[in-house]
Amino acid sequence: MRSSVFIIVASALALTACCNNPNYSPVKQHHTKLGFKNRYAHPEKGSIWKWQWERWRNGVPADPEDGYGFPVLRPDVAFLKNNREVETLTWLGHDTFLIQMAGLNIMTDPHLTERASPFSNTGPRRYSPLPMSFEDLPHVDVVLISHSHYDHLDRETLRRLSRQQGGPPLFLMGLNLRAWATDNGIENVTDHDWGDVVDFSGMRFHFVPVQHWSGRTPWDRNRTLWGGWVIEHGNRRILFGGDFGYSQDLRDLGEQFSGFDLAMIPVGSYEPRWFMKTMHVNTDEAVQAHLDLRARHSVGMHWGTFRLTDEPLDEPPAKLAESLAREGISSAEFFLMQHGETRMLEDIFVRALTQQAEPSFTVK
């Protein structure tokens, strides 16, 4: 009797395991029966336990009590709420941008709560105050989600956006994330494979491959798909890269889209290299990504907001300046923004074309 029960249970578990990817397609190289994998071979990620042992043994830069003093600007909320004509870019910290383009308000990986964590009282906390509250936001039309990690997929932020006055935005996510969203009360969600194209209100959104991974628990690694988003309107192309390690995917995207007017590239969360290299670029690799993508302009993100890795929070600006100098690239071509800063997209493009480089970003 016991052996029969064991066989039944084992068979059920095996059947469940083989069907964990409901969107599995055997003809797609990046699909597996359990989830997804990167397009290009790369070294396996190092042991997280080894990393934590090294941190315990060697220590890490002390967390600041009151932040690092990064400049935080108060956006012109009234202008942003009413603007449907001027194309703007506002950085709210980490990978969260508000893009106003073609009359739409688009947000990338919106994170407007205090911790990048499944818990409200522990885990990485925000060191730079939020420049805008939920009430300050204009009506958001489209939300682009790159992947499922807690610093990019924030449940409470998405729930509140889903309940915004005037109806929920269109949430665009990677494959297998729609079920998570539905379970968490988030409406108007579609999930997509690499190569999918979504047309919405005169704009086109492409979900594209980058080298990374996904997971929210110890048991769901790579069960949902990660990626970047290309925003296309007329002749203008913008890449929101999400998180990525350096790979040939970047050169492929540069060729496929014949370059980008603007690329949003991560520049932080890169130490220790032996552990982070496959999933997070450092500043040298970020600059190479800018070149591979054939980006006319790039903006750095994924720094100065949450302590996730071992480099000091204020290190990426200085390292990026060194990396750009080695390649002879100006700070107008590849720039950083202050938390809460708004720039007009047209000003970004004109400044770079005339080589009116801005002063290097400094921390107060």
Q: What is the pLDDT of residue 19?
A: 55
pLDDT tens readout for residues 162-171: 999 999 999 9
Does residue 9 carry a pLDDT above 50?
Answer: no
Share of the chain above pLDDT 90, in %: 77
- The stretch 14-20 carries a mean pLDDT of 50
Q: What is the pLDDT of residue 316?
A: 95
Calculate the average pLDDT of the chain.
89
Share of the chain above pLDDT 70, in %: 89
- Listed in sequence order, the residues at least 6 apart from 233 whose beta carbon sits closer than 8 Å to its beta carbon are 101, 102, 202, 203, 204
Which of the residue ranges 96-110, 114-128, 176-190 would you say has the lowest mean pLDDT? Answer: 114-128
Q: Under a CB-based contact definition with an 8 Å cutoff, are residues 279 and 309 in contact?
A: no
Using 50, 70 and 90 to split pLDDT, how confident is the model at 64?
A: low
pLDDT tens readout for residues 341-357: 999 999 888 765 444 44
Domains of the chain: 56-353 (3.60.15.10)
- The stretch 14-28 carries a mean pLDDT of 74
Q: What is the pLDDT of residue 66?
A: 60
Q: What is the pLDDT of residue 279?
A: 95
Q: What is the pLDDT of residue 355?
A: 47
- The stretch 12-38 carries a mean pLDDT of 80
Between CA 195 and CA 226 the distance in angstroms is 12
Using 50, 70 and 90 to split pLDDT, how confident is the model at 7?
A: very low
Judged by phi (left if over 0) then psi (alpha if -120 to 50, else beta), residue 202 lies in: left
Does residue 98 carry a pLDDT above 60?
Answer: yes
Give ∠ CA 267-296-87 in degrees, rounded to 5: 90
Does residue 14 carry a pLDDT above 60?
Answer: no
Using 50, 70 and 90 to split pLDDT, how confident is the model at 68?
A: low
Residue 228 burial by Cβ neighbours in a 10 Å radius (0-12, 13-18, 19+): buried
- The stretch 115-131 carries a mean pLDDT of 90
Which of the residue ranges 42-56, 225-239, 304-318 would you say has the lowest mean pLDDT? Answer: 42-56
Q: Under a CB-based contact definition with an 8 Å cutoff, are residues 206 and 232 in contact?
A: yes
Q: Under a CB-based contact definition with an 8 Å cutoff, are residues 310 and 271 in contact?
A: yes
What's this model's pTM, rounded to 2 decimal places?
0.91
